[in-house]
Amino acid sequence: MSKRNILITGGAGFIGSHVVRLFVNKYPQYNIVNLDKLTYAGNLANLKDIEDRENYFFEKADICDFNKVLEILKKYEINGIIHLAAESHVDRSIKDPFTFAQTNVMGTLSMLQAAKIYWESTPEKYTGKLFYHISTDEVYGSLALTNPEGIESPFTTKASSDHHHAYGTEFFKETNKYQPHSPYSASKASSDHFVRAFHDTYGMPTIVTNCSNNYGPYQFPEKLIPLFINNIRHRKPLPVYGKGENVRDWLFVEDHARAIDLIFHKGRPAETYNIGGFNEWKNIDIVRLLVKTVDRLLGRKENEDANLITFITDRPGHDMRYAIDSRKLQRELGWEPSLQFEEGIEKTVRWYLDNQAWMDNVTSGDYQKYYEEMYKNR
């Protein structure tokens, strides 16, 4: 099928906006529909550069609004869904688990059921259709930190750097059992099960991918990297949980968008693919790298702002280590990260420093007022 009408949910968010931009630019023959509720983390300013394209459409809607979702699927004759819309901040999930269950579980179920009803009503039914669900590595739980100083990683890619370390001998594979520890990861695990159930019960073509931590431009500044870049700039404290020993696998967001593109077009239905950066870093080492990079780019003395680092009480259920084995994706579809982490951090820091107006707009909440006004009469 050459003519695709693709619905991307959460397309005004951090990862979603990069996926929307990639598809709109790369596939002018496709119609790309961005469905977003425009909660605090959704910002159409992220897509200013493509908002006037002929193959781009925006629909303000809640994925939990089943009737509205079904109406949109019919209106645009959607034959592919890339489902990114989710509540994703662990700290928020600890304070408000109901919202996470509602959006991530019931919202996904709403999307699945609407897709089932619409696609089964079409002459070709499920032929040429795909429901692609983006999930997280956090569903797998926590890995042991067995190499506290780090050893050379068993994985090699073109993007390997001097810091290509592993902090343990185990890695998340697609076959790992689910062991979510936070309300956020529990809600994502549940949504993954529903997606697979719709394949097994109804024959819906589905794919699930579980990705590691993303970073890059347009990330809402509640997340570590943009928050700390902004705090260093304004010389505000850098609060680090515990001793900062927790390890995460980091991936540049544009590399994730490339993986989504590849999997959407060439991945095998009913499969799961893990997407990771082969790139483990302790939180404290990332914070130190950010201080060093921001200070250098602002013309300050080296590590001038290291004294901003403060250690705070660890959060409940804080997983020690995430690390993804992406070799299935590498082997089957030829994907691997394109950037070394230091190169990606340099690009990311430069973007936030060069786009202070975007940051000010987001941190003040002004962007929400603007779009509320724009859509209140629609």
Give me the helices (H) in the chain, please.
Answer: 14-26, 66-75, 90-95, 97-100, 107-121, 183-202, 224-233, 253-266, 283-297, 327-333, 341-354, 356-364, 366-375
Residue of 137, 254, 295, 325 marked active site = 137
Cα–Cα–Cα angle for 7, 11, 17, rounded to 5 degrees: 130
At 310, is the secondary structure helix, strand, or coil? strand
Residue of 36, 62, 87, 138 marked active site = 138
Instruction: Answer yes or no: 137 catalytic.
Output: yes
Residue of 56, 140, 184, 367 marked active site = 184
CA distance 216 to 346: 10
Residue 331 corresponds to which tokens in the numbers above? 């082997």
Contacts of 331 (CB under 8 A, 6+ apart): none
Instruction: Answer yes or no: 91 catalytic.
Output: no
CA distance 68 to 114: 9
Instruction: Answer yes or no: 370 catalytic.
Output: no
Asked whether the beta carbons of 211 and 263 are under 8 A apart, the reply is no
CA distance 226 to 23: 25
Active site (catalytic) residues: 137-138, 184
